[in-house]
Structure 1
Amino acid sequence: MIETTTNQRKMRLSRAEYKEIVRWTEQLRPTRQCMKMLKERFPNHSQSTLLSIFSLEYQKRTKRTISRHHAPDVIESHYQRYLSKAEAQPTAPVLLELANEVDLSPALMARIILDRYLQDLEGEMPSKSVLNSMLKEPSLIPDQILARNIYQCTINDCCYGPLVDCIKHAIGQEHEVLLCDKLKERNLSFLDENQLRTMGYDKTPDIILEVPIAVEGHIVHWIESKASFGDDHSHRTYLNEQFWSYWNRFGPGLVIYWYGFIGELDCQRDRGILLKDCFPTDIVTLCHATQQDKLQQEPE
């Protein structure tokens, strides 16, 4: 379900507010218990915004450190520690505890340990399809203690893993449907991404308006929906890989970061990229503009 908030101001954060949240996330692990702590520390921000910020920051942290966890000697150390702990405490969430202890995503730790277990079981490197299917459905794992530990890691990880991937995909689609519903409510004619692909477009925004609109005085030809928070790194990446190419092909457009963004990033309006954290209410259509022009031209 899409989280709603009555305090839209808190979706658009100053860089100082954002940095304060980021500093506090540095001590957290990607577990649902830690997210409760984050919400308690910043009660005026929506949980979706906080989770999105934390997820982005944790992914950056993971990219900096993941290579050391994939070193053969470290993998072996993690695996032997798991085996020892699982034997001593067969009902305890030992793999989840191990992941938190070494500051590694529980889902990524589960992948490493399962991969190592399958090498012993099959005598060779397991295929990605087998590995992925067991991560998605731990009951397929022959070792029931390991299966339970893999499951515990998957459901407790809020940043990585098949469950998170599924949730992110569903939330992304849900917001695209929400955007389409809002456009239909305003009787705005548009083409969605699926329609554009059938027309032969390969790289398109989520929505292209068949008749442009004006939002806060800026012309909008297309709309992109992002079910995430817009931080410096992600926004810069989107600008370079998506938004400017949309601008070159279709003209100026609007990006909706549904979970908020750093306010200082909304600095490209004059160049044709407008940022919002919700569906805009200040919309002027061509029809309205024409009516206003007529009224201004009519003699008193």
Structure 2
Amino acid sequence: MDRQIFDKIIDYINKNKNLNKQNLFELIENTLKKQNDFNLSMDTFTSIYGNLKRRQMFKSSDSSAINWKRLKDNSINLSLKYNEKCSSDSETFPKNIILEMANDTGIAPILMARLILDGFIKQDALELVDQESIKNKDKISISFLIKETHLLKNGRLGYEIMECCFEDEDYGPSIDLVKNLIGLEYECKLERLLIQNGISFVKESELREKGFDKTPDFKLDLPICLSNGSVISWIDSKATFGDELSHSEYYENQFKFYLNRFGSGLVIYWFGYLKDIEKFNFNSNFISICDSFPSDFTLLDLTSLI
């Protein structure tokens, strides 16, 4: 993807915050098709959108991130405020207080739910749950309670958190599950393509059993050579869009370890990547990038070197 197209997508997302994700996608898709003759897929848009929202929420350079840190340090007061709002809500069909507080502060519903739970836990974790229904008291954590809302003594709190899980388009257990399933789907796709092309490999799970802690999805038994001359010893599948920030984070947390242990490799960003990402590609001579399985490669025969 050209930088110009990418910047236009980011600009439209930032300027149309009142639109839901589907309507925003349709607006950007139609605009890019008319003005730039570019076909934007929903998968690519969703990935770019999600990356942007997460960065705006947590990066220190963004005002939303400062708001998040301040709220996190003030979680007890947020839980008290939640109780106060519930007590004063006399409507027959009460509104969702957590959603209301999330909208007022400009953060995602599930993140507000996590803050409120954090405040309650800091006050008295055991008073928060039905102790007869939970066997291991040490398991009481925010992530655990987000998933097991039925264990909360406060039925309204549990229901509102569950509702936040359905309302939140960017965070929460259901979103995490979808992302994990999509990642697994593309790993399986890559595995099928390797088998179909007669490329022998060792899977990540097998490498972990051998004691490696940071491993690519597939370590090739014999390297392959791409049409541009790059030698590939491993391949990593990324069901996301690759921009300079995500790529540099992956490099620091994953790719540089793969390079040190297994040599040069290939990263597949299935939902596309920025064309100028090579500028931010550390060790670009040793990490190749593409958005599909390479169609032109040669299996290296190392026996000829013996």
Q: Which segment drifts farther, 224-233 or 72-81?
A: 72-81
C-alpha contact 1:266 1:274 (8 A) present in aligned 2: no
3-state DSSP of counterpart to 2:95: coil
Cα deviation digits, residues 126-181 of structure 1 (max 9, x gap):
96634333211323223332222111111222222222222222222222111111
| Partner in structure 2 of residue 266 of structure 1 | 278
Matches within 5 A, 1:1-300: 13-27=1-15, 34-43=20-29, 44-63=39-58, 64=65, 65-72=67-74, 75=78, 78-79=81-82, 82-83=85-86, 86-88=89-91, 90-117=93-120, 119=123, 122=126, 129-217=140-228, 218-266=230-278, 271-286=285-300
3-state DSSP of counterpart to 1:266: helix
Cα deviation digits, residues 67-91 of structure 1 (max 9, x gap):
1222428625752574267543644
Q: After TM superposition, give the deviation of residue 207 of structure 1 in Å.
A: 0.9
Aligned alpha-carbon RMSD (Å): 2.9
Distance of 2:15 and 2:104 partners within structure 1: 12
Could you tell me which amino acid in structure 1 is paired with residue 177 of structure 2?
C
Could you tell me which amino acid in structure 2 is paired with residue 37 of structure 1?
N
| Partner in structure 2 of residue 8 of structure 1 | none
Could you tell me which amino acid in structure 1 is paired with residue 113 of structure 2?
A
Q: 1:84/1:188 Cα in 2 relative to 1: closer, same or farther (>3 Å)?
A: same
Could you tell me which amino acid in structure 1 is paired with residue 296 of structure 2?
D
TM-score in terms of structure 1 length: 0.80
Q: 1:75/1:91 Cα in 2 relative to 1: closer, same or farther (>3 Å)?
A: closer
Distance of 2:198 and 2:146 partners within structure 1: 44
| Partner in structure 2 of residue 4 of structure 1 | none
> 5+ residue gaps in structure 2?
30-38, 59-64, 130-136
3-state DSSP of counterpart to 1:88: coil
Q: After TM superposition, give the deviation of residue 16 of structure 1 in Å.
A: 1.9
Could you tell me which amino acid in structure 2 is paired with residue 240 of structure 1?
E
Distance of 2:86 and 2:248 partners within structure 1: 43
Q: 1:122/1:210 Cα in 2 relative to 1: closer, same or farther (>3 Å)?
A: closer
C-alpha contact 2:237 2:270 (8 A) present in aligned 1: yes
Distance of 2:92 and 2:243 partners within structure 1: 42
Alignment: residue pair count:
274
C-alpha contact 1:79 1:116 (8 A) present in aligned 2: no
Cα deviation digits, residues 19-52 of structure 1 (max 9, x gap):
22222223566x9x72112211222312221111
| Partner in structure 1 of residue 32 of structure 2 | none
Q: 1:97/1:281 Cα in 2 relative to 1: closer, same or farther (>3 Å)?
A: farther
Q: 1:67/1:87 Cα in 2 relative to 1: closer, same or farther (>3 Å)?
A: farther
Q: 1:85/1:56 Cα in 2 relative to 1: closer, same or farther (>3 Å)?
A: farther
